[in-house]
Structure 1
């Protein structure tokens, strides 16, 4: 009896200690798992920023540029459009010159989708390509000019204008529109080169140094698509005809509906997200909504979970990052979940708007991977 009574308390104390140790280990493991999931979410959100949000910002900038340009919209009425007929003679050259960042042309490639359109601005710096679509090599010829109208564009991120360049087929239309003229090129072939092979954008890429004999277009982009770009994918096209914008739209950019009416295929309005252009309003609205709901819930319900834990009506929970955040919100469970969701939305939007651009601008390997520059 003495033996049993002497070991009983020690056994109970040992079991309590073991239970406590298991609780600590469970809490530590839980926090580690939460941190790993958080890190995975942050990395996934970085990919979202790189692949999607940079494209939204680029589309916003391009729409603003097109809207500010004093260019006539040949399909502004939304009704049937006229087909611009090919013109005879040498094409006019437009523009004759441009400063860096100026809108040179718009480019339509139906193979990439009916609604696909990108701006071409002067210059091929990362700043121009990241925010303004595609850039014209300043040393190459202008649209319609004898020689090579050479442009560059990203294949990944920032709207990835040339993401599907490998889908082009011989004879595909590449339509360039300047302020007053259409230039319809036909895709001919492609080649893959190293970055130092700059002759691909020469006036006569087929015979560098010789006088040009054709009116060409060259599209340059990165290769491979999703990893470090060690080469360049070069696509060539040759001018088939030119037309006047005042006469309508090239047949390559039209379709015929069930009534027989001719429509401009690129007729969708910019997306709602691209009109936003910045996630700062999302952050502000989420935080304001959080503040209003937080105050209302604190007045009506206070903190029922914390009260129950203090009073012993609810067992003390394990340490948890998100569990702790959820418990410290006022109100009933649905309200607390909503409050936590608003905080997470604000945090995610802040990362997309400010966090990832800062990281991509200041961490060398991220900068190299994302081609990011501060604009």
Structure 2
């Protein structure tokens, strides 16, 4: 083989390698694109169908008086969640448990945490991307924004606690606004702020920090007896979007409770709490 022939053979091989590598990159890109489409759209469709079924079943149980005191069964819906600032169509049933199957239906209640309206911490997890993405926009909620939980007998109104940069001037700052009338910092006058000194309306934590759903967030379970615990709602989801590297946490405090009546409507409730 002459030098010229060897160069041509080597060049042809190089082109083939580059072409093959390019084809592999295109194939990999298509696979990633298909996966993104599946996660963002296809799983949403599956979850929407499951959510609708869970809601229908829950409505039927309530209509027949089957849940005056809900029996918490893994994967079974027992309450509904509303966030008025996300629009009138934002409503999800809450399932018992935070396993994969429950979260594919909708938000899931951390087993062992408080129930709606109870002292302690009613904690709920939800997906941020795909599978219905009920908690996709949690980062948009500000302090004092309302979060409503409906049970068979009552509506419970929680409002997001002050963010860390609002604590110092809360009473003369945002805390003076009408929607914040029943939202305090939960802190004592001690240097560490007392049992709730580490509880803020929004925080970003490591997935290992499971004590965010403790009765008093970040504290041992026995730091306060139940009668002295605030009635909190904690929502958790992955952070940032498209990643499970961290967790976005929202803490809210119970401000109102409205017994459900036959002639009461959701619109009237929003008007009563200043969210209409």
User: TM-score per shorter chain, which class?
Assistant: 0.5 to 0.7
1:114 aligns with 2:88: yes
Q: Distance in 2 between matches of 1:59 and 1:134?
A: 12
**Local SS of the residue matching 1:143:** coil
The answer (yes or no) to whether the contact 2:75–2:95 under 8 Å persists in 1 is: yes
| Cα deviations by residue, 1:11-68 (Å, 9 ceiling, x for unpaired) | xxxxxxxxxxx9xx99xx6x99787656533431210101111111111101011112
Decide whether the 8 Å contact of 1:94 with 1:142 is kept in 2.
no
* CA deviation profile, 1:156-184 (whole Å, cap 9, x unmatched): 22111111111001111101111222111
How far off its partner does 1:139 sit?
1.0
The answer as to whether partners of 1:65 and 1:103 remain within 8 angstroms in 2 is: yes
**Equivalent residue, structure 1, for 2:247:** 232
Q: Equivalent residue for 2:209?
A: 197
The reply on whether 1:102 has 2:70 as its aligned counterpart is: no
Q: 1:175 aligns with which of 133, 143, 148?
A: 148
- RMSD (CA atoms): 3.0
More displaced stretch, 170-179 vs 41-50 = 41-50
- Which of 46, 66, 74 in structure 2 is aligned with 1:57? 46
C-alpha separation in 1, matches of 2:28 and 2:202? 41
Distance in 2 of aligned mates of 1:214 and 1:168: 21
Measure, in 2, the Cα distance between the counterparts of 1:217 and 1:94: 21
CA distance in 2, matches of 1:186, 1:51: 29
Structure-2 residue corresponding to 1:340: none
Give the match's secondary structure for 1:155.
coil
Asked whether the equivalents of residues 142 and 149 of structure 1 are also in contact (C-alpha less than 8 Å), the reply is: yes
- The 8 Å contact of residues 75 and 101 in structure 2, kept in 1 or not, is answered as no
Name which one, 1 or 2, has greater alpha-carbon Rg: 1
- Tell me the CA shift for residue 217 of structure 1: 0.4
Distance in structure 1 (CA, Å) of the matches to 2:246 and 2:32: 26
The TM-score, its normalising length taken from structure 1, stands at: 0.50
How many residues are aligned here? Answer: 211
Q: Is the 8 A contact 1:223 1:230 kept in 2?
A: yes
1:135 aligns with 2:108: yes
How far residue 185 of structure 1 moved from its aligned partner, in angstroms, is 0.9
Deviation at 1:95, TM superposition (A): 3.9
Matched, 1:144 2:117: yes
> Alpha carbons of 1:194 and 1:252: their partners in 2 closer, same or farther (altered >3 Å)?
farther
Aligned to 1:162, what secondary structure does the other structure show?
A: coil
Which is helix-richer, 1 or 2?
Answer: 1
Q: How does 1:342-357 map to 2 (within 5 A)?
A: none
